[in-house]
């Protein structure tokens, strides 16, 4: 009797886990060619109720969008990654591309990072990891807590994901990203 109860209990538990994962947006990880998940971009100090919300979808149609997930503000690798985008910002502008950098830091920490490093692009705090989950970016355990795995998604003006690097390397990943950036800029937006 116990052998039949345990598998059924495990099956029910596993079934609940699948339903819960689906509810969190993890059931389908976005792929190249998929419509990009939308999310709200808060500007510095706009986490107040009633503040006008800017969404990724507000940028689409006007610009391509690079959604760059990074683990933690002010850490060496993340500072190198985002300062690299800042230093190459003219390249993004000439490719008609906006940048939205996302971490699980609180918005206030993202605002401070943006201000202190003079980033000319959006830095979004996602402490509940809602955006991270929508994009299927894994959370990595560190002594300081869960952080998003460094990943990039390049979205064209039609809102279609055209390039993904799910394990973006700050040094080795830069050239492939910039090649994809040029390709997306030079081609017509993908239809979805």
Catalytic positions, written as ranges: 78
Q: Supply angle C-alpha 149, 39, 182, rounded to 5.
A: 70
For 48, the token pair is: 């107040």
Distance between CA atoms of 105 and 111, rounded to whole angstroms?
10
Cα separation, 167 vs 69, in Å, equals: 10
**Distance between CA atoms of 22 and 2, rounded to whole angstroms?**
30
DSSP type of residue 96: T
């Amino acid at each position: 009797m116990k052998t039949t109860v345990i598998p059924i209990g495990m099956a029910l538990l596993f079934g609940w886990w699948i339903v819960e994962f689906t509810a969190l947006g993890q059931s389908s990880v976005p792929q190249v060619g998929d419509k990009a998940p939308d999310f709200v971009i808060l500007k510095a100090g706009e986490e107040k109720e009633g503040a006008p919300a800017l969404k990724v979808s507000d940028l689409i149609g006007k610009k391509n969008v690079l959604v760059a997930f990074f683990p933690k503000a002010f850490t060496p690798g993340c500072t190198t990654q985002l300062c690299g985008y800042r230093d190459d910002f003219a390249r993004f502008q000439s490719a008609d591309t906006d940048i939205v950098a996302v971490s699980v830091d609180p918005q206030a920490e993202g605002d401070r990072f943006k201000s202190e490093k003079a980033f000319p692009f959006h830095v979004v705090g996602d402490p509940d990891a809602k955006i991270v989950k929508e994009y299927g970016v894994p959370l990595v355990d560190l002594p300081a807590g869960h952080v998003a795995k460094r990943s990039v998604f390049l979205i064209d003006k039609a809102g279609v994901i055209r390039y993904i690097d799910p394990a973006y390397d700050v040094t080795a990943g830069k050239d492939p990203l910039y090649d994809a950036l040029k390709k997306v800029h030079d081609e017509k937006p993908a239809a979805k």
